[in-house]
Structure 1
Amino acid sequence: MQDAIEAMKALIEEINHHNYSYYTLDQPSIDDADWDKLYDKLVALERETGMIFPNSPTQRVGDQLLKGFDEHKHRARLWSLDKAQNHEEIMLWHNRVQKLVNEYNNQHPEEQLPAPSFVIELKFDGLTLNLTYDQGVLVQAATRGNGTVGEGILAQVKTIRSIPMDIPYREGIVEIQGEGIMNLSVLEAYNKTATDLLKNARNAAAGALRNLNPKVTATRKLNAYFYNVGYTDGLAFKDHQEMVEFLRSNRFRVSPFIHYYDSIEAVVQELEKTASLRHTFDFLIDGLVVKVNDMRTREVLGYTDKFPRWAVAFKFEAEEVATTLLSVSWEVGRTGKITPVAKVEPVDIAGVTVQNCTLNNIGDIERKGLRHALGSQVYIRRSNDVIPELLGKVTEEPDGQEIVFPEQCPSCGSLLELKGAHLFCLNRLECRPQLIGRITHFASRDAMDIDTFSIMTAEQLYQELSVRDPADLYQLQFDDLIKLERFGEKKATKLLAAFEKSKQCDLASFLFALGIPNTGKTTTKVLADHYRSLNRLMEATPEELITLNDIGGIVAESIVSFFRDPVMQQSIERLIQAGVNPTSEEAPVIVNTDNPFFGKTIVLTGTLTVMSRDEAGKKLEAMGAKITGSVSKKTDIVIAGESAGSKLTKAQELGIRIIDNEQELLQLLGEA
């Protein structure tokens, strides 16, 4: 028995070595027939002994269909990247980095940071992966999710043969971050024999990795590249180059394109050169990533609330192509707004098949000269390589058929009303898309944050349980849900628990969830902070509301009309009766009113480096300041960080006091 176990260990090591040579290094070290013999011998030994080691190559494709994905909490947050659209914005990012380095060096003469040097990497266009190795063994793989919590996809990731099942480093736990992709050549080969063609490599990779059947994932023959060690139990790297060598020495596939530069001028030249080569790679990229090389500098620079300050993504310019406008359909939103959606002849832009483009409204159609464009050639562009945008006709000739603007709602048949450049359906009680949209918005993350809820759930509850209003959600029972298709006991119980948990909510989120016309998160927070009571707000007059910052006459009338509407009043009353309890934090107690910010109306704009804007806002509010989002004659102070734009310009035009020195801000806050 012991001899068989030792033989299995030796076979696993040998097969994994050959896999590494073939899939990671692209240097085959054995022919297929000999590899098959080794693999078959391992399978026979596993059957004979009844033992299977976790790093065995036989475990790359599981036999069981998974029931769902479990949540996985990352040990280290996976950050998004700030974006630069052009060379000027790259230089602005560099200037911020240099400024922070200089400030640190001035304050720490004995711990000088080196002059910034940089690394450029490809920005892969696939699905972000976060792998967890414990004592060298792959124990978990997860999607990025929200950066803190992702979905566990270990069984799917094991099918990617370029990912090692175990690594030489065995000193505790490490998290390795990279991108799961489908090579373009593999996509082309797959589609030659596939019944259902895959449209593009990005969706093919993401869809495969989120497929509950790992055998389906395996058929896609995915690949992966790795670029970061996100977490370790104590391992430290001097610079990015040292970290990349760690990845290579532990058998991870690393990008074929990593360049190091001592000056930002050299970086800019490389960005321009590589952008012209984007289509020469055998995989999709949507930009390049520029990072500070030195790890200690990264630690000093730190993070904003969203991005690392030591890295930036250089996004390629959007590509424009010509295609044929086939039709325009009309979609109804939750507010009743009718949005035109253009369908075009499918066309490939940077590896993605585009066939639908959103037009803003009928005014957009007129402005772009598209009124007589059906059947004509039009230009489309993927803005920032994401959003398909219809730009206009290729020629100015009226050679197409007319786009007919609807007079009736395409869903419920009610007469439409034109308000400015937008068409609206006013049938709020019976128009299906409006009702489903309102319920979906109510449950969304920034609103009531009802876990597991989706638009598919809203549609199912509308269709089968006659849910027409957010208040109806809190009347649902276990017996109602369990009889629905795709609703097992676990899902029904989890959704009911999410409903119950959402009842305790903050007032700002509740107001946002209600979907008051012409209000967003900023306005609902202003309302919550001022009134701190739902009843007080519901009794407010337009005259009161317009005294608040960021609220003008139109918004004030929208708020008052909303709360005077008997339908909305009944819905809110039912929500409260169901136990929904929107509360607001007490106004911060101002200990010292003798400070420079007490009673001042302040606007924060641009990027602060010593703290986030949210953090600064909370500190200012604690000193008695009012924080607003727009500059007006009522504004007392504008605090301007890096890359401050139109708000700073308006403040200068109005002669408003401007604080654009963060050291001065810290002194005024009493923290310098």
Structure 2
Amino acid sequence: MDQMHTWVAELNKYNYHYYTLDTPLVSDKEYDAIYDKLVALEAETGTVLPDSPTQRVGGELLKGFTPHRHLAPLWSLDKAQNIEQLRSWNVRVHRLVNEYNTRNPENPLPDPCYAVELKYDGLTLNLTYRDGVLVQAATRGNGVTGEGILAQVKTIKSVPLTIPFEDGVIEVQGEGIMNLSVLADYNTRAAEPLKNARNGAAGALRNLNPKTTASRRLNAFFYNIGYADGVEFADHQEMMDFLRNNRFKVNPYLTYYSNFDDVTEQLAEIEESRSGLDYLIDGAVIKITDFRTREALGYTDKFPRWAVAYKFEAEETTTILESVSWNVGRTGKVTPLARVEAVELAGVTVQNCTLNNVGDIERKNLKHALGTRVFIRRSNDVIPEILGKVTEESDGGEIIFPENCPSCGFPLEMRGAHLFCNNKLDCKPQIISRITHFASRDAMDIETFSEKTAGQLHEELNVREPADLYELTFEQLLKLDRFGDKKASNLIQALEDSKGRDLASFLYALGIPNTGKATTKMLAEHFRDLTAVMEASAEELTGLPDIGGIVAESIVSYFKDPFVVTAINRMLALGVEAKAPEAPRPVSTNSFFSGKTVVLTGTLHKLTRDEAAERLEALGAKVSGSVSKKTDLVIAGEKAGSKLAKAQQLGIQVIEDEDELLRLLES
């Protein structure tokens, strides 16, 4: 039994560091070796400890949910739909505090201070621990009674099965979620893809088969202790420290403010960074931190007066799928575009949605969905995506997959889940898209050029490929509609200027399949010569950072195409330089910043952020845009928000004095 206790404690420590702290201590191989020995010992002895990690795989099918009466009620939150309503809530808080202090001058409440937390879009969990052991887990239900889901919650590896606090009973509240990356991975393998992360989490936790719950690899964040016997807290900070110290996963996006204007600025920052999160949120929660103030403010019939939910614009909604059209892109890929009944989503009116490809339509049960209601999601300011049908029935009109190119009539080829038109030389949308991409800012940066210009040049001057651009004359352009002397001379000059772009820009302009700006920049810096890139083997390419087999084969195949080689040679003959990049500047290896990963956040006054980043890189630092366990240093300017909070949560070194930063840069 001693050996079993040792292995269980060791595995639980590794789980805590991996799933809660995001700081792995051992490799998966090392973990699995101990886990397998524990499984064998449990089978041999017939004994399973209450906090054994083997319980997390899911047990037998349950017959039903057992009602659980919460030891303390789980309250809903009043909602503020905009900043004006939020300020009104804050005015009421101050009025109530002042009224209390007028009645109790001998023991007044402190000035209100605020905690700002994320508002998750998952399923509320209420966990009961007795003498340090998880004995029950329940849904919110009606706030008084929920459904017991202990077997399901035990499969969530960020939920501790035992905690150091062993002196009483506590109920801990949090949110069960499905990370978006986990959802995407799950849907690549699932026979029935999940429509969204919220439904994925809720469906898993309210599922009578815990093995189904385990298969969805849920996560959880914790933010409140609703009932506590044996421990008391003076304020929110103390309670959150208690949760962290007892191995609960607390989200690093938790900040504290004494000034309400800082609260509103933090809300704007959260909303701006929302699309970069790996989980769904639909707002933020603002709470008064002092517990004595909370008690004095009390509750309405439904809500605590000391907290409010600030709602963001919805990123998911439902609407009617009206029709599907098929568009041809730069690479010949033919993609479906859905027309939906107009609906407000994340502050804009949505009428078009992406369906990705043929395989996506079939996988999401959308083949017979015309005229039916569908889920749509918008994130990161891109065109919304259709997630699936609201109902499971195939009760709508059929989406017909085209057999021929909708533009040129060429027979389509199915490659994987995508349809392709292989008529590169005579398919108008492909030609116009290739020319437009070639001229774009991150590519050859041909000023005054647009997709409309590309279309006009193709239709009226038979420009079919980028090389044709460099044979245009002033006289030809003057004959075009809406081209006067100035516009024609400006375009000729812009084309001449573009010949001097560097190798990275030229490679990106070519539009090599499966390569983006980062890859083409890395190719240019490594090979420093166009011919060397064109002649590189797949083996050479896969030896470079971040290039896998698929990307390497795409690059090799692209430069084997005679059409491509001829076009490149034409451009070089017409004066395109594709110059090797400048030699990298010498980087210091013995400065304070050498070898460190640094994040800049907030406003600097004596340097711009770009200037600071350039100087840091010259001193050997790697400048990153996000804080993680790999971050060594955070430089926090004025009004630094969530990145600073996460750095403090992870114990990362922070420089908040700009003069100190300048001293280190100059030394």
TM-score by length of 2: 0.49
